[in-house]
Chains A and B, each alone.
Chain A
Amino acid sequence: MNAFEVRNLRVSYDDFEIISGIDLDIPAKTCFAIMGPSGCGKSTLLRTFNRLIEINENARVSGIIKLFGKNIFEIETSELRRRVGMVFQIPNPFPHLSVYENVAVGPKFNKMVKNKKELDKIVEWALKKAVLWDEVKDRLRERASNLSGGQMQRLCIARALALKPEVLLMDEPTANLDPISASKIEELIHELKKEYTMVIVTHSPSQASRIADYVAFLYLGKIVEIGRVEDVFENPKHELTEKYLTGRIG
């Protein structure tokens, strides 16, 4: 079963093509890494999976993306985004809300709960899932901006999980964290991929090799190579891939 099937995807901003014809399949409940040098279009690609790209008025998307067999352009955006959660490069918990409210905001506005009790339960569940509960259970009313960078990022993961998504998109989730916080996030990804389909964008091949089952190498808006991690890393079929993996493109 594939979580995503992408066919002939093209994305452009103001006539400038960022993604030029991409085909790829992402198997369910695996961790799929999209790697490539900066500017290759990987963040743009990720943002088409939940149609977040569309909040930019100048973006044009064509092609087909199916989520578990259903065309995502026929799913209402708010429903799609509920099913496909996202975590960003810079930890972005809402600065005006408390730790609790940050996790609660999704279920609340999407009317997923009937009462405060249910909401409390979801919040606790999501924070536990993100391995943050023990650290914040006494600080739920504090502003989220008081947390450390690593805690903020796990809060963002909890916020995404609270919507009970099927897929979790992560856009360089450790790029702005210290190494210890980063490794905690990587551990968490290992746990989460047992239940969720994870799609992770990274500019670091070594991170991709540590966390992913499948990997796609994206360069100048095209997929150069795609496959199981061990195949791509041990036997790159393409010269560009080899150059990238050995640090000669970056």
Chain B
Amino acid sequence: MLRKLKNSLFLIYIVLATFLVTLPLFHIIFSVFINGFPVILKAGLSFLTETLPPPGEELAGIGPAILGTFILTFLSSLIGIPIATLAGIYAAEYPNSFFSRATRTLLLVMIEFPTILVSLFVMSIVVLPMGRFSAIAGAIALVIVMMPYVAVYTEQALKSVPERYREAAYALGLKRKQVVFRVMFSIARKGIVTGFLIGIAKAAGETAPILFTAGGAYRTFFIGLDKPVGAIPLLIYDLVQQPYSNYHEIAWGSALILLIVFLAIFIPVRLSVREVKL
């Protein structure tokens, strides 16, 4: 009797746990839509193109933040993806060397690493010497954040290619470089591209790394790599901490845009591969 009771309680518990674990996502999406959609509807298309209004009634737009996110993501991908991909190739191609094992551990540690520390680090080595916040500093911080994801994905994608294709490529007289880039890389491309996209999604969505690096600029559009630049997550973070209700509305609208951007990158990626590591 007691055993049966325990068993039933257990079953109730795991169903309840499942419900509680998944509920927040739906509520977050629901809240962002409920609060963000009317804002975008009210502001119209100019929400995407106009600059931030002064505190008060106006909504205007978040154009500079959208452009800034695009620039930061593009720049950091441009720098980070090639380096990280090559590092991933190293870890996959020379799995037994000491350096390779150390690299794998380091990459996994860096994935788990508090991103606010990256912000502090880049501030002290880039922002302080340059004398101001800049797009390039923000991009460097995001490079450090995104690289481990891209590298780990590349490594695992290459490792999942069956050995027989590697052997076949070598048996045709291909050189190591050709084997890796022309054969292994193409066969593993799905996993590798997944890594790129996860890295890009991270760069577009992170707030902490750009907190003390990008600086934020919402009333002017992009004016140069060495000048401050805004970003959607950073804008939301700034706006919600101010007491103005139109800023809160704009924050919700921005959150909706960020959510849509994220889901647009992430859902197709997630559905095309069996597992992701974040």
Contact = CB atoms under 8 A, between A and B. Distances in A.
Chains A and B form a bound pair: yes
B173 A79 contact: yes
Contacts of A55: 166-167, 170
Interface stretch (B60-68, B178-186, B204-212, B252-260): B178-186
Chain A interface residue count: which class? Answer: 20 to 34
Contacts of A163: 172-173
B164 A92 contact: yes
B182 A109 contact: yes
A154 interface: no
B175 interface: yes
A159 interface: yes
A110 B183 CA distance: 14
B99 to A, nearest CB: 13
Given A57-B96, A81-B171, A109-B174, A94 B166 contact: no
Contact of B171 (A50, A58, A90): A50
Nearest to A102: B168
Contacts of A88: 164, 167-168, 171
B164 A90 contact: yes
A82 interface: yes
A51 to B, nearest CB: 9
B186 A78 contact: no
Chain B interface residue count: which class? Answer: 20 to 34
Given A57-B96, A58-B96, A109-B182, A96 B171 contact: no
A221 interface: no
B181 to A, nearest CB: 11
B165 interface: yes
A34 interface: no
A78 B167 contact: no
Interface string A28-40: 0000000000000
Nearest to B174: A109
A160 interface: yes
A159 B165 CA distance: 13
A52 B182 contact: no
Contacts of A159: 168, 172
A163 B171 CA distance: 11
Contacts, number: 71
Contact of B172 (A90, A95, A96, A109): A109
B201 interface: no
Contacts of A77: 170, 173
Nearest to B187: A96
B96 A92 contact: no
A88 B162 CA distance: 13
Contacts of A95: 165, 187
Interface in A150-208: 156, 159-160, 163
A81 B164 contact: no
Interface string B185-228: 01101000000000000000000000000000000000000000
A189 B136 CA distance: 62
A156 B162 CA distance: 16
Interface in A53-69: 55, 57-58
A85 interface: yes
Interface in B136-178: 162, 164-175, 178
Nearest to B96: A57
Contacts of B178: 109
Interface string A99-118: 00000011001100000000
Contacts of B175: 78
Contacts of A82: 172-173
A106 B173 CA distance: 7
B172 A156 contact: no
A52 B171 contact: yes
Contacts of A86: 167, 171
A95 B186 CA distance: 9
B257 to A, nearest CB: 36
A82 B167 CA distance: 14
12 contacts: A78-B175, A79-B173, A85-B172, A88-B164, A88-B171, A92-B162, A92-B165, A94-B183, A96-B187, A109-B174, A109-B178, A110-B174
Interface of B: 94, 96, 162, 164-175, 178, 182-183, 186-187, 189
Interface of A: 50, 52, 55, 57-58, 77-82, 85-86, 88, 90, 92-97, 105-106, 109-110, 156, 159-160, 163
Please give me the 5 A-B residue pairs with the lowest Cβ-Cβ distance, nearest first: A86-B171, A82-B173, A81-B173, A106-B172, A92-B164
